[in-house]
Amino acid sequence: MVVGDFPIELDTLIVGAGPGGYVAAIRAAQTGQKVTVVEKGTIGGVCLNVGCIPSKALIQAGHRVEYAHGEDSMGIKSEKVSIDFGKMQEWKNSVVKKLTGGVEGLLKGNKVDIVSGEVYFVDKNTAKVMDEKNSQTYTFKNCVIATGSTPIELPTFKYTDRVIDSTGALNLEEIPNKLVVIGGGYVGTELGTAYANLGTEVTILEGLDDILNGFESQMSALVKKKLKKKGATIVTKAMAKGVEETKDGVTVKYEVDGKEETVEADYVLVTVGRRPNTSEIGLEQVGIELDDKGLVKIDEQCRTTVDNIYAIGDIVAGPPLAHKASYEGKIAAEAIAGETSVIDYNAIPAVVFSDPELASVGFTEQQAKDAGYDVKASKFPFAANGRALSLNDSEGFIKLITRKEDGLLIGGQIAGPNASDMVAEIGLAIEAGMTAEDLALTIHAHPTLGEITMEAAEVAMGTPIHITK
């Protein structure tokens, strides 16, 4: 410890400056709290630096390459498409830099102190922040822990230059000729799609019966169809066994139906989930309890088993989504300020930036039935929408889940172009307690993809205009 380590007194300490932590810090400062946020890496956390933002930039670049190849049915042909991957990576990194710089500016603009270092809790009101040279003690009235998660490393697939996680996949220096992806969840599917659009021969190995297991099979089937059209190979019920690394690539061993197979590639990307960052920060020192999955136990205000310490994001139960962490950050900050805010996950959307995009909010049809609701599922296809046809991108559908008794909207799923943006209207309708009639009576601009939501609502009411009953 440095001589003269006099404790710095705070109202609120935020541990982690990702999409949960920095939002909690800003909201806490807005309520008049004296706030310090501690981040051991880069402001913005995984999402802004090596997750949500750079992956979407790379996905968009892949789409641009796909478009540049032309579309024969539209009379557009291209002889050759040139890709400067180094410049593409520079552009992707510039997007990240703008956003992380913006977040730092927002924190400073709200008078939040930013400290670099790692936190270790001494007791429920004291923590040490350490960097390579120094240690500083902080005392606080309240604390929000938002330390996020880390990619799981398989024992038989230790990370190297050729065995990579999502961060490595986002920062490759060249476009691989061949890429094996272990895990067909949203990260593996998104990055696999991005590289397939850039010309990589992609193989996805998924241990379960299907990729994108959290979505309905009708939705994931559309993604599989598009991936195969891009030249990708998808192997389900495949158990990855190990990898042999050479100077120029890898050979991945996997087992299907009791038979061992191999596939060669330049790299193997491992995307089999994430683990919460809850070790080595002194939680046990404070008495904060974890569940059997290693996640921090919280109440409806994100309060842990220690009443002045809160936890949000990937270290608590629920899907590891950036927008969930941000939402919880606001709830925790407001709870500290004495407000009555409580978490309500009923309308948290899940989105995959696949091709086509998938989005879901509220109940699926099966989840609603399992919960005891008597529901109606109403679908409308993108193929019957003028805007989708003019985009030459008309595969997919919207499905609304409504209660039969009163038409109350309790869920919705979208598979199709711009699903990630369109799902917000359905989420708002669920949050506001709207019915199918409310959506159907809302005038939507024509021709737009948004009309599909209105048309699906008309199906729910039994009065569809642009498809026959």
pLDDT digits (tens, 9 = 90+) for 259-278: 999 999 999 999 999 999 99
Predicted local distance difference test score (pLDDT) of residue 190: 98
Whole-angstrom Cα distance, residue 1 to residue 134?
Answer: 7
Predicted local distance difference test score (pLDDT) of residue 7: 94
149 is in an annotated binding site: yes
148 is in an annotated binding site: yes
Considering 63, 69, 444, 446, which one is annotated as catalytic? Answer: 446
Predicted local distance difference test score (pLDDT) of residue 449: 98
Nearest in space to 353 (alpha carbons), one of 54, 2, 30: 54
Whole-angstrom Cα distance, residue 97 to residue 268?
Answer: 27
314 is in an annotated binding site: yes
CATH topology of domain 163-272: FAD/NAD(P)-binding domain (3.50.50)
Instruction: Tell me whether domains 8-150+275-345 and 356-461 share a fold.
Output: no
Residue 45, class by beta-carbon neighbours within 10 Å (0-12 exposed, 13-18 middle, 19+ buried)?
buried
16 is in an annotated binding site: no
Predicted local distance difference test score (pLDDT) of residue 469: 79
Domain boundaries, the chain: 8-150+275-345, 163-272, 356-461
Predicted local distance difference test score (pLDDT) of residue 133: 86
184 is in an annotated binding site: yes
SS3 at position 231: coil
Whole-angstrom Cα distance, residue 303 to residue 320?
Answer: 18
Q: H/E element holding 323?
A: helix 322-336
State pTM to two decimals: 0.95
For 223, phi then psi, to 5°, come to: -65, -45
56 is in an annotated binding site: yes
User: pLDDT (tens digit, 0 to 9) for every residue of the chain, 469 residues total?
Assistant: 444 579 999 999 999 999 999 999 999 999 999 999 999 999 999 999 999 999 999 999 999 999 999 999 999 999 899 999 999 999 999 999 999 999 999 999 999 999 999 999 999 999 999 998 889 999 999 999 999 999 999 999 999 999 999 999 999 999 999 999 999 999 999 999 999 999 999 999 999 999 999 999 999 999 999 999 999 999 999 999 999 998 899 999 999 999 999 999 999 999 999 999 999 999 999 999 999 999 999 999 999 999 999 999 999 999 999 999 999 999 999 999 999 999 999 999 999 999 999 999 999 999 999 999 999 999 999 999 999 999 999 999 999 999 999 999 999 999 999 999 999 999 999 999 999 999 999 999 999 999 999 999 999 999 999 999 7
For 214, phi then psi, to 5°, come to: -80, -5
Predicted local distance difference test score (pLDDT) of residue 4: 54
CATH topology of domain 356-461: Enolase-like; domain 1 (3.30.390)
User: How many other C-beta atoms can be found within 10 angstroms of the C-beta atom of residue 124?
Assistant: 18
Measure the CA dihedral 61/18/341/367, to 10°: 50
Predicted local distance difference test score (pLDDT) of residue 2: 47
370 is in an annotated binding site: no
At position 384, the amino acid (one-letter code) is A
For residue range 399-413, list pLDDT tens digits in order: 999 999 999 999 999
187 is in an annotated binding site: yes
Predicted local distance difference test score (pLDDT) of residue 186: 96
Q: Which CATH class is domain 8-150+275-345?
A: alpha beta
Q: Label residues 208-247 b or e (16+ Cβ within 10 Å = b).
A: eebbbeebbeebbebbbebbeebebebbbebebeebebee
Q: Are 442 and 452 in contact (CB under 8 A)?
A: no
Predicted local distance difference test score (pLDDT) of residue 79: 87
Those residues with Cβ within 8 angstroms of residue 443's Cβ, 6 or more apart along the chain or in another chain: none
231 is in an annotated binding site: no
Concerning whether 446 is annotated as a catalytic residue, the answer is: yes
Q: Are 167 and 202 in contact (CB under 8 A)?
A: no
Q: Are 7 and 88 in contact (CB under 8 A)?
A: no
Predicted local distance difference test score (pLDDT) of residue 1: 44
Nearest in space to 376 (alpha carbons), one of 412, 426, 423, 428: 412
